[in-house]
Structure 1
Amino acid sequence: MSKQSASSAQERILIIKLSALGDFVQALGPFQAIRKHHPDAHITLVTTKPYKELAEKSGWFDRVVPDGKAQLREIKRIWRLRKFLINGRFDMVYDLQTSDRSSLYYHLMWPHKPQWSGIAKGCSHPHANPRRDFMHTIERQREQLEMAEITDVPPPDLAWMDADISHLQLDDTFALLIPGGAPHRPDKRWPGDHYGTIAKRLTAAGIQPVILGTASEADEAAEILATCPEAKSLIGKTSLFEIAVLARRAALALGNDTGPMHMAAAAGCPSLALYSKASDPALCGQRGPNVVIERTDTLDQLPPDRVWSLLTAFLEKEASAS
C-alpha cells in the first residue's frame, strides 16, 4: 500500500514489530486482526528494513517505517525517533515486539501517552500474564490483543504472497531443503551431509531436491550437492515472495529452526522442522496445518534414517489422499 497522510480526524495506529523473519511471519495474523479491528484507521508499522517491502505489499498498512535500531548513546538518532513518535500523534500503539527497546518508544512519547498494548510500565493495555514468557509467540500475541479488545486473531496467512517462479525451471514435483540458520548459532543446524543423504533419497523417489537459503548457507549447499549432484541450489536466488510460492507448490519441506521454515509451515507445506536444545519449539516452533517438529539435544546426533522415516510419512499421506 502506498504511503498516505492521515486526516486530522482519522484514527492513528502504530504497530511495532522489529525482528527476524520467523517472528515477522508469526505476526501476520495479529497484523491482519488489527487492520480488521481498525478498518478506517491510518496504520503505521515500524519494522526492520528486510521486511519493509513485504509489509507494504500486504495491504494492511498505510505506512511502513524501517527502524534503524539506534543505540541509547546515539543521541541524534534517538532524538529523530522521538520526533517521529511525537509527530505521529498516535491514538493507539500495538507493541508486538514487547522488548525493552520497543517499550522505550512508550517513554519517548512523553508527555503524550497514547493507548498502548504491550508491556511498557504504565501502559493502558498491559499484557498482564506473569507467564507470558513461557507462551508460544502465537498464543502470547493472541492473548495480548485479546486484552486490548481484539478477539479474532487468525493464524498466519501467506496466500496473498505471489510471484512468478517459472524462471527457476523446477520439476513438477520437488521438495525444499532449508539447511540454514543464524550464522552465530551453528548448534541449530543439521549437518549438510545429512541433508545430502536425504536429497539422494528424494531423487530416488522421483522428487527433485531444491535447496533454499542465503549466501551464509553456501557451505551446506555445497555439501548437499557433493552428495547429490541432482539437487538444485537456489541459494541467494529467491525473494520472500518466491519462497511463499515455492512452499505452496512443494511436496514437503525439511529444515532447521529458521525463518523460511516458518514461511513453509504457514503456507501449508508439509514441513519437518529440526530442533536442538538450543531453541524451544514450545515457545517459537513453526505453526501450520501440517507440521512435525523433531527435537534432539544435538542435531549432529540425529540420524538421516530417522528424518527419512518422518518424511516418508508425509509422502505416504499425500499418496493415500490422491
Structure 2
Amino acid sequence: MAGKGRNILVIKHGALGDVILAQGPFQAIRAHHGDARIVLLTTRPFAAFLEKSGLFDDIWIDERPKLWQLSKLIPLIRKLRGGRFDRVYDLQTSTRSNSYFRFFPKWRKPEWCGIAKGCSHPHDSPLRTKIHTIERHIDQLKVAGIDNVPPVDFSWAMTDISRFDLPTKYALLVPGGSAHRPEKRWPAIRFAELAEYLDDKGITPVLIGGKAEAEAIEKIRSSCPAAIDLSSQTDFGDIASLGAGAMLAVGNDTGPLHLISAVGCKTIVLFSRASDPNMSRPRGQDVRVLREDDLANLPINRVIGELDLEP
C-alpha cells in the first residue's frame, strides 16, 4: 500500500539487460509509494548507474555471498533485518532472492511481492515462465496493487559524448555477447561486411564492446578502417547517449542492445537458438529481431534488408 513513512526494498541483481527491462517497474514502484523510503538491493556493476535515476533513496550492494561465507552472509542478514522494511518487491525472483525471505523472523516479515514460499503477495501465475520479462514484471506488480507501469524514461542516464567527436550519421555495431556463450554471436566477418556496407552508404560504423570483443572489433576495423572503435571507452550512460544519437544499431542478444533500444534507437537484434526473443528481446520504439538457429548461417543480406536505408 502507498503511504508516508513506509520502508520499501526492491531486489534486482542483473545482468544489464534485465536491469534495463526493470526500469519501467522501478518507476512504477516509486510513483506508487510516493515519498516512502525505497532501497534498491543490486550488484556492484549497476549501483552507480541506477543511483543517477533518482528513484531510490539508497542503494545497497549485494555481494551474493555463498552460504558458507558467514563473514559476508551474516552482515547481509543483519542489514536486511535492520532495514525494517514494510514491503519487498523481489524483481529478481531467483533461488537466491527467494532465500532472503527466510532471513526475516516470522514476527517481523515484510509484505513480500515475489515467488518466495509463504510470501504475502505471491506471483503464482502459470504464465510467468512463458511471457516476456516486462510482461512478467507488470503482472507481478498487479498482485501488489500497482496497475500502471509507465513507458521507460532514461533521460537521467544521458552523458556528454562530445569527446568522441562523432559524425552526424553513425550506426552502432555491437559484436559482443557473453564470453561463455559464443553461439549467441554473429561471426565478426559478417559484422565487418555490414560495416563496409554502412560506410559505402555514408554512415559511419561505431563499434562498442569490452576487452572480450577486442579480437572481433580488430577484425571489423581491418576490413573497414573508417569504423570508429569505442570499445572499453563507454559506460552505461555513454551507451544510452550513443543510442539516442544513432541512426540505427545492430548487435547480438546482449545487454547494451537493451539500453540502446530503450532510448528509442532503431535496433536490429540477432538471436540464435540459444535464447528465446519472446522471453527476453530488447524493447523500444523500433526493435526488429532476426533469428537463425546457428548465427553463422545468418546471411548479410537478411540484415541489410532490415536497415531500410534505400530511398
Instruction: Identify whether the pair has TM-score above 0.5, normalized to the shorter chain.
Output: yes
Q: Once the 2 structures are TM-superposed, how far is the Cα of residue 40 of structure 1 from its aligned partner?
A: 1.0
Counterpart mapping for 1:204-219 below 5 A: 204-219=200-215
Which range moved further: 104-113 or 31-40? Answer: 104-113
Q: Distance in 2 between matches of 1:281 and 1:157?
A: 23
1:248 aligns with 2:274: no
Q: Once the 2 structures are TM-superposed, how far is the Cα of residue 176 of structure 1 from its aligned partner?
A: 0.1
Q: Once the 2 structures are TM-superposed, how far is the Cα of residue 290 of structure 1 from its aligned partner?
A: 0.4
Q: Say which of 51, 67, 76 aligns to 1:81.
A: 76
Q: Say which of 143, 149, 153 aligns to 1:153.
A: 149
Q: Distance in 2 between matches of 1:153 and 1:195?
A: 36
Tell me, what secondary structure is at the counterpart of 2:13? coil
Q: Once the 2 structures are TM-superposed, how far is the Cα of residue 80 of structure 1 from its aligned partner?
A: 1.1
Tell me, what secondary structure is at the counterpart of 2:129? helix
One-letter amino acid of the structure 2 residue matched with residue 200 of structure 1: E
1:194 aligns with 2:222: no
Q: Distance in 2 between matches of 1:68 and 1:142?
A: 27
Q: Which residue of 1 aligns with 2:30?
A: 35
Q: Once the 2 structures are TM-superposed, how far is the Cα of residue 159 of structure 1 from its aligned partner?
A: 2.2
Counterpart mapping for 1:159-174 below 5 A: 159-174=155-170
Aligned residues between the structures: 307
Q: Distance in 2 between matches of 1:241 and 1:20?
A: 16
Q: Say which of 88, 92, 97 aligns to 2:87.
A: 92
Q: Which residue of 1 aligns with 2:64?
A: 69
Counterpart mapping for 1:1-80 below 5 A: 10-80=5-75
Q: Distance in 2 between matches of 1:144 and 1:27?
A: 12
One-letter amino acid of the structure 1 residue matched with residue 125 of structure 2: N
Q: Distance in 1 between matches of 2:76 and 2:118?
A: 20
Q: Distance in 2 between matches of 1:133 and 1:207?
A: 40
Q: Which residue of 2 aligns with 1:4?
A: none
Q: Which residue of 1 aligns with 2:285?
A: 289
Q: Distance in 2 between matches of 1:140 and 1:71?
A: 28
Q: Distance in 1 between matches of 2:175 and 2:143?
A: 38
Tell me, what secondary structure is at the counterpart of 1:142? helix
Tell me, what secondary structure is at the counterpart of 1:79? helix
Q: Once the 2 structures are TM-superposed, how far is the Cα of residue 75 of structure 1 from its aligned partner?
A: 2.0
Q: Which residue of 1 aligns with 2:220?
A: 224
Structure 1 stretches of 4+ moved >2 Å:
none
1:120 aligns with 2:109: no
Q: Distance in 1 between matches of 2:88 and 2:109?
A: 10
Q: Distance in 2 between matches of 1:36 and 1:131?
A: 26
Structure 2: runs of 5 or more not aligned: none
Q: Which residue of 1 aligns with 2:98?
A: 103
1:266 aligns with 2:254: no
One-letter amino acid of the structure 2 residue matched with residue 166 of structure 1: S
Q: Distance in 1 between matches of 2:100 and 2:299?
A: 46
Q: Distance in 2 between matches of 1:18 and 1:305?
A: 38
Q: Once the 2 structures are TM-superposed, how far is the Cα of residue 131 of structure 1 from its aligned partner?
A: 2.3
Q: Distance in 2 between matches of 1:121 and 1:35?
A: 26
Tell me, what secondary structure is at the counterpart of 1:286? coil
In angstroms, what is the RMSD of aligned CA positions?
1.0
TM-score (norm 1): 0.94
Q: Distance in 1 between matches of 2:204 and 2:68?
A: 51
**What percent identity do the matched residue pairs reach?**
47
Q: Distance in 1 between matches of 2:285 and 2:160?
A: 24
TM-score (norm 2): 0.97
One-letter amino acid of the structure 2 residue matched with residue 188 of structure 1: K
Alpha-carbon displacement from aligned partner over 1:243-301 (angstroms, at most 9, x marks no partner): 10110110000000001100111111000000000000100001111010000100011
Q: Which residue of 2 aligns with 1:308?
A: 304
Q: Distance in 2 between matches of 1:234 and 1:198?
A: 17
